[in-house]
Amino acid sequence: MTGNASPGAAAARAARFLGRTLREEWHGIVAEPLRRLVRRGPAGIALAFVAGFGVVLFHDIAQHPGGRRLVWHLGGVTADLPLWLSLLRTPVSLYVPALDLPVWAGITQLFLAFALAELVLGRARTLAVAYLTTLAGTLAARVMVALGPGRWGFGLPPEAGRILDTGPSAAVVGLFTYLAVVRRAPVVFALTGGSMVWESLAVPNLAGREHLIAVATAVVLGTLHGRRLPVPALPVP
């Protein structure tokens, strides 16, 4: 009888754990940010509006003659650019969408990521996480190209250095992953990180690798969230 009851008891425990996890994630990722939005109003998600408007603006400019070249000079980043130029363009690249992908789907994800992050993390930390995860992918691409094809399974051929950087998608992935880590949301983490792993396996390209780097960077930043580095006491003269 004990053997017959064990599978049912295990299933019940698993169901309770799943239900508790989903309730906690709903509270931390959805309910609490919504309450903050009600208190603060639209000003509480100003970054999301700015990011969405920036993507729409750059996408619209790129549709006109000469506009694509202007957008490239302002925010186009590739691994074969001089490092100083890549660093200069990286903040603007957060608003330069991939022109071969549906822009409205990307804007929805971008707006949601920035809105949730701004409500949960604050404006400064949201910008820092978005920039650092994007920058990590950008710098990793340079390392991959520098290593050369087939090097430790990580290197890339020189022609990969001419592929346009991921744009805002790395920031979106980084923000969702960071939120999942600091809010202890395993379901959101699995959806974010799992989708990136699937992408890199199904379509093994530079963008997939940069997204994985963004996920890894966000995990590291998330584990350091709220921690202060110990400051040694100065001797009193």
Q: Of 226, 219, 228, which Cα lies nearest the Cα of 178? A: 219
For residue 4, is it within any domain? no
Measured between alpha carbons, how far is residue 170 from residues 90, 142, 201 in Å? 12, 16, 17
Full domain range(s) for residue 165: 20-223
pLDDT for residue 193: 78
Query: From the CA atom positions of the chain, what is the Rg in Å?
Result: 21
Is the Cα dihedral 195, 199, 201, 205 positive or negative? negative
For residue 28, is it within any domain? yes
Could you tell me the pTM of the whole model? 0.84
pLDDT for residue 154: 73
pLDDT for residue 234: 39
Residue 76: CA atoms inside 13 Å, Cβ hemisphere, count? 16
Count of structural domains, the chain: 1
Question: Contact 49/209 with Cβ under 8 angstroms?
Answer: no
For residue 14, is it within any domain? no
For residue 113, is it within any domain? yes
pLDDT for residue 4: 52
CB-based contacts of 221, cutoff 8 Å, min separation 6: 129, 132, 133, 178
Q: What is the pLDDT along the chain (237 residues), one digit of tens a residue?
A: 444 557 777 777 767 767 777 788 888 888 888 999 999 998 999 999 999 998 889 888 988 878 888 988 888 888 888 999 999 999 888 888 776 666 677 788 899 999 999 999 999 999 999 999 999 999 998 988 888 886 666 778 888 888 888 778 889 999 999 999 998 888 888 888 777 778 777 767 788 888 899 999 999 999 987 665 444 443 443
For residue 39, is it within any domain? yes
Tell me how crowded residue 226 is: count the other CB atoms within 10 A of its CB. 7
pLDDT for residue 226: 65
Burial class for 112, CB neighbours closer than 10 Å (0-12, 13-18, 19+): middle
Distance, in Å, from the CA atom of 24 to the CA atom of 13, rounded to the nearest integer, reads 16
For residue 10, is it within any domain? no
Distance, in Å, from the CA atom of 34 to the CA atom of 119, rounded to the nearest integer, reads 8
Q: What is the DSSP string of 157-202?
A: -GGGGGSPP-THHHHHHHHHHHHHHHTT-HHHHHHHHHHHHHHHHH
For residue 8, is it within any domain? no
pLDDT for residue 230: 46
Distance, in Å, from the CA atom of 133 to the CA atom of 217, rounded to the nearest integer, reads 6
Size (the chain), residues: 237
Residue 174 belongs to a domain with what CATH number?
Answer: 1.20.1540.10
pLDDT for residue 136: 93
For residue 67, is it within any domain? yes
pLDDT for residue 102: 64
pLDDT for residue 79: 87
Tokens of 33: 């940010």
